[in-house]
Amino acid sequence: MARGNTGSSRWSNRLIAAVAAAVVMGVIVSTGVVATPSAPQVSKSVKLDHGLYEAVYSPDQQQLLVAGGGSRGDEDGGRIFRLNPKTLETLDTLHTPRQVFGLAVDPKQHRLYATGSRDGSLTILDDRRGEVLETLVLADPSQPVPEGEQKHAEPRHVVIDQDNERAYITAVANDGRVWVVNTTTLEQEPTIEHIGKRPTGLVFDKARHRLYVTLMGENAIAVIDLDQGTLMDKWPTTLEGPIDIDMDHKRQRLLITSVQAGALEVIDAENGSSLGSYPAGDGALSVKLDPGNDHVYIANRNAGTVTVLDGEDYQDIATLSTGTHPNTVAIDPATHHAFVTNKAARMGKQDDPDDDRGNTVTLITP
């Protein structure tokens, strides 16, 4: 009896599957169209204030965090906006005693790191409560400018090594270096010195325990051995002024942008050889790969657009208008939503208050 029921069930399942397939084929034949994934599109933009800079997605809080550094000369500190990543609604505004520009989250320690480029600081906050835990002065502007420099080193990008409990921060200077902070004690550790001229972007390679750092001042990538805490190699780039970098960990490739070239260069992370350069847009600045859907997003500061490329062959998928000066890109890996901060046009040293497409955050949906 049991065998008869099983056979009947299997026959029914096959019949249902056959009917479903016939329905699908009927739709294709009648319309002549096969469904394909939709291209990325701008879903929404919202206007904030206080001179927007970097955005980062917090998987711990499931929020988008946006740095508001303000204008040069502001004396009321900085802002960090907490946004709902689905609606871009402002959930909270954190006030920081110092201006903030670059951001990174440490989900393991529930902390948020914010660089203060103008005063050489690093502000560390509790990612949940928004409380300032520590402020480190990495480059003290009250001290004499070092010989060979026009100004003090400026903290720019931050990356977190969660397993080894370290934060790494690029120090933009002629004699560039990387600052190191212990993410448990929140104390500064020995700096990685003399890595090259004007380091800007950096990315962490967990598998090799390395940092790759763009050297904008010498058209190269610094390769740092974190086990030794030293520079181990420099790889030349074909693009002038490499500024930002991300890593395709699956394919072991480095993705590098250049504002001057308006392009993306791809470098083999095994040996530093160039795998080619690909057009983006005028002023190609921030680059982020979403490994889940294999889309590469490039913020083109001068063009006012974001270029979306295929992560396999770097062919153009879409070019989207987002704001006056697209500055940084952040990714929510779960929803594959991309977020873009757009800076405003300038009036002297201040943002243009009448620029409706500046100081905005744009949501791009796949």
Q: Which helix (H) or strand (E) holds 24?
A: helix 2-31
Q: Which amino acid is at 237?
A: T
Could you give the 3-state DSSP secondary structure of residue 7? Answer: helix
Q: Which helix (H) or strand (E) holds 165?
A: none
**CA-to-CA distance for 254 and 31, rounded, in angstroms?**
42
Mean pLDDT over residues 352-358, rounded? 91
Whether the per-residue pLDDT at 32 is higher than 70: the answer is no
- Which tokens is 276 given? 């080619």
Whether the per-residue pLDDT at 49 is higher than 90: the answer is no
Residue 76's pLDDT band (cuts 50, 70, 90): confident
The answer to which of 16-30, 66-80, 115-129 has the lowest mean pLDDT is 16-30
**CA-to-CA distance for 224 and 279, rounded, in angstroms?**
28
Mean pLDDT over residues 90-98, rounded? 95
- pLDDT tens digit sequence for 141-188: 889 999 999 999 999 999 999 999 999 999 999 999 999 999 999 999
Residue 106's pLDDT band (cuts 50, 70, 90): very high
- Which tokens is 14 given? 């096959």
Could you give the 3-state DSSP secondary structure of residue 35? Answer: coil
Residue 70's pLDDT band (cuts 50, 70, 90): confident
